[in-house]
Amino acid sequence: MPQKDLYEILGVPRTASQEEIRKAYLKLAHKYHPDKTGGDKASEEKLKEVNAAYDILKNPEKRAQYDQFGSMDGQPFQGGFGGGFGGSGFDAPFDDFFDMLFGQSGRRRSGGGHPGKDLEFNLSITLKEAAFGAKKKIRFNRMETCGDCKGSGAAPGSRPEACSQCGGSGQVRVAHGFFSVTRTCPQCRGAGSTITKPCRACSGHGMVKTTRELAVDVPPGVDTGSRLRVTGEGEPGSGGAPRGDLYIYLEVQPHELFVRDGTTLICEVPITMAQAALGDTIRVPTLDGEAELKIPPGTQSGAHLRLRGLGMPDLRGYRQGDLVVKVQVETPARLTRQQRELLQQFEKAGDGRAYPLIEAFRSKVKRLKG
Ligand SMILES: [Zn+2]
Ligand SMILES: [Zn+2]
């Protein structure tokens, strides 16, 4: 089902101010509110649609992203690909990120001929690039219509000649007892013409291998397995049919410090026994720098401390994940003489209440012994 333009849903022009959008939303929300409509299904659906549209348009960042990538009615918009990169070959950029977001395919085929072949490209990116988005330059090979023969395969100055076997129809009649059946001509394979003098540049194939360079906008939030589609960057179609598309399969390289779980980033950070016991404020790495983290007194090894919003973004731009710091309390491995003495004193100075886990464990063991 084709989906509607978000601005259309709210009944505002694309140039509407945030305030106009808000007013339009309030009006519609009021109009379709169950209190007003008695809760009929159509109004309920309408309200959902209005809410979803407002959810995106009320947020200037999401709105800009929506404006940039496309509308819900399938009209191609100025997208994230190409743009100032010798990028002329296409005008309807789209990717699966938006297919996913708006539940439609940005692709429409026109009749006649065969659409060009789709191409695939594997692109490896860093976790940081996956988090913040990146402009990546890619190079790939693709077949192009031969410029020398304009795709005919015949040497310049010559022309493909009508096939001698079928006379140009591409089909031959073959006798079969009393009947005769029509078959694809074996000599020209249905093309109706044969090349007597093949073009040198393409050996008569009509296509030549070329290298294409392209700038690709990787949106923030992608993950390994995410697929971007660049419309019209596949191979050329025949008979006026559109070019194929280029599919870019992303692979996010593992990071030495962070493990990703959806939008959550997990970082294991070792701290000292004293820091864990006394509490401290430490600096921890983030994807693009550092952040301060407060370690509360009495922090146990394995504790998860959360830094809000410092994880990965959601691909749809709805929320930012958290950075979870997994604290690892390190037992000192080599003690100086003084440290050893201090620790012995430290243990003696205890009042037996410092270790509730140990206390609980001991009493359990004692009880079970009976
Ligand atoms: Zn050629
Ligand atoms: Zn033929």
Ligand 1: centre distance to CA 198 (Å): 8
Ligand index nearest the alpha carbon of residue 203: 1
Ligand index nearest the alpha carbon of residue 144: 1
Whether 226 and 341 map to the same domain: the answer is: no
Mean pLDDT of 318-331: 95
Ligand index nearest the alpha carbon of residue 200: 1
What residues does the ion ligand 2 have nearby, CB within 5 Å?
A: 163, 165-166, 185, 187-188
Ligand index nearest the alpha carbon of residue 166: 2
Within-domain flag for 245: yes
Whether 145 and 247 map to the same domain: the answer is: yes
pLDDT given at position 227: 93
Residue 365 has pLDDT above 50, yes or no: yes
Whether 110 and 208 map to the same domain: the answer is: yes
**Higher pLDDT, residue 17 or 132:** 132
Which domain range does residue 190 map to?
Answer: 161-194
Whether 127 and 222 map to the same domain: the answer is: yes
Ligand index nearest the alpha carbon of residue 199: 1
Mean pLDDT of 53-79: 63
Ligand index nearest the alpha carbon of residue 146: 1
Ligand index nearest the alpha carbon of residue 192: 2
Ligand 2: centre distance to CA 184 (Å): 8
Ligand 1: centre distance to CA 184 (Å): 25
Percent of the chain with pLDDT over 70: 86
Whether 291 and 334 map to the same domain: the answer is: yes
Ligand 1: centre distance to CA 235 (Å): 16
Ligand 1: centre distance to CA 156 (Å): 8
Ligand 1: centre distance to CA 208 (Å): 7
Ligand 1: centre distance to CA 112 (Å): 23
Ligand 2: centre distance to CA 172 (Å): 7
112 pLDDT band (50/70/90 cuts)?
low
Whether 87 and 137 map to the same domain: the answer is: yes
Within-domain flag for 352: yes
Ligand index nearest the alpha carbon of residue 183: 2
75 pLDDT band (50/70/90 cuts)?
very low
Whether 34 and 102 map to the same domain: the answer is: no
CATH value at residue 12: 1.10.287.110
Ligand index nearest the alpha carbon of residue 185: 2
What residues does the ion ligand 1 have nearby, CB within 5 Å?
A: 146, 148-149, 199, 201-202
Ligand 2: centre distance to CA 173 (Å): 11
Whether 15 and 35 map to the same domain: the answer is: yes
Whether 145 and 35 map to the same domain: the answer is: no
Within-domain flag for 65: no
CATH value at residue 338: 2.60.260.20
180 pLDDT band (50/70/90 cuts)?
confident
Ligand index nearest the alpha carbon of residue 168: 2
Ligand 1: centre distance to CA 170 (Å): 22
Q: For residue range 134-161, what is the model confidence (pLDDT) as tens digits?
A: 999 999 999 999 999 888 888 988 888 8
Within-domain flag for 216: yes
Ligand 2: centre distance to CA 179 (Å): 21
CB under 8 Å to 265, separation ≥6 — which residues?
258, 259, 287, 310, 311, 312, 321, 322, 323, 324
Whether 16 and 85 map to the same domain: the answer is: no
Ligand 1: centre distance to CA 145 (Å): 8
The full 3-state SS of the chain, as one line of letters, equals CCCCCHHHHHCCCCCCCHHHHHHHHHHHHHHCCHHHHCCCHHHHHHHHHHHHHHHHHCCHHHHHHHHHHCCCCCCCCCCCCCCCCCCCCCCCCCCHHHHHHHCCCCCCCCCCCCCCCCEEEEEEECHHHHHHCEEEEEEEEEEEECCCCCCCCECCCCCCEECCCCCCCCEEEEEECCEEEEEECCCCCCCCEECCCECCCCCCCCEEEEEEEEEEEECCCCCCCCEEEECCCCCCCCCCCCCCCEEEEEEECCCCCEEEECCEEEEEEEEEHHHHHHCEEEEEEECCEEEEEEECCCCCCCCEEEECCCCCECCCCCCECCEEEEEEEECCCCCCHHHHHHHHHHHHCCCCCCCHHHHHHHHHHHHHHC
pLDDT given at position 122: 96
- Total tally of structural domains belonging to the chain: 4
Ligand 1: centre distance to CA 194 (Å): 14
pLDDT given at position 3: 59
Within-domain flag for 146: yes
Q: For residue range 214-267, what is the model confidence (pLDDT) as tens digits?
A: 999 999 999 999 999 999 999 998 878 899 999 999 999 999 999 999 999 999
Q: How far apart are CA 227 and CA 97, in angstroms?
A: 8
Whether 243 and 140 map to the same domain: the answer is: yes
Ligand 1: centre distance to CA 246 (Å): 24
Mean pLDDT of 99-123: 62
**Higher pLDDT, residue 186 or 293:** 293
Mean pLDDT of 278-300: 97
Ligand 2: centre distance to CA 159 (Å): 15
